[in-house]
């Protein structure tokens, strides 16, 4: 996706439609993880001895749990995307960057109250595009804003 907001809107729409295929197409693939991202992460250093296949399996398992816990909240609800707020800054690597501590801000059922959720926590930014590492299982909550996580 070209922007964090485009990605957030795509994810929110997919959740409300219960469209797991649409959720999957904006996630990092195994080959992207193993061939592009993993070699630049500190955990990939030989002295750490952390296997890439174990790392990917962990991401997959946690992602499945996250999607499974998010879908019920959004089922049969009308959601209004507002914005993505990445409150943790950017971690720069050699060939990509990671926007951290990201929240999707939205409304539910055309109500005026803003909600927020860490549907995804980190965004991979590479070549002008944005992708998700995995989905998180955090429950949506009333909007607290940036000060809620960074006093």
Query: What is the CA 138 to chain-centroid distance, rounded?
Result: 11
Residue 126 within a domain: yes
Residue 115 within a domain: yes
Its pTM stands at: 0.90
Q: What would the pLDDT profile of 25-60 be if each residue is shown by its tens digit?
A: 999 999 999 999 999 999 898 888 889 999 999 999
Mean pLDDT of the chain: 93
Residue 145 within a domain: no
Residue 46 CA to residue 137 CA, distance in Å, equals 31
Number of Cα atoms under 13 Å in the Cβ half of residue 87: 20
Residue 144 within a domain: no
Number of Cα atoms under 13 Å in the Cβ half of residue 45: 4
pLDDT at 151 over 50: no
Q: What would the pLDDT profile of 5-21 be if each residue is shown by its tens digit?
A: 999 999 999 999 999 99
Name residue, tokens 């019920």: 72
Q: How many domains does the chain have?
A: 1
- The reported pLDDT for the residue numbered 49 is 82
């Amino acid at each position: 996706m070209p922007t964090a907001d485009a990605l957030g809107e795509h994810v929110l729409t997919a959740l409300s439609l219960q469209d797991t295929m649409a959720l999957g197409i904006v996630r990092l693939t195994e080959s992207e993880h193993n061939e592009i991202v993993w070699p630049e992460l500190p955990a990939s250093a030989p002295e750490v001895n952390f296997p890439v296949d174990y790392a990917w399996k962990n991401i997959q398992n946690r992602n499945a749990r996250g999607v499974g816990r998010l879908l019920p909240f959004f089922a049969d609800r009308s959601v209004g995307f507002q914005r993505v707020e990445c409150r943790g800054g950017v971690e720069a690597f050699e060939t990509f960057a990671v926007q951290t501590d990201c929240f999707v801000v939205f409304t539910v059922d055309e109500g005026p109250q803003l909600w927020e959720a860490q549907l995804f926590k980190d965004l991979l930014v590479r070549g002008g595009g944005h992708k998700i590492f995995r989905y998180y299982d955090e429950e949506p909550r009333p909007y607290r804003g940036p000060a809620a996580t960074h006093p």
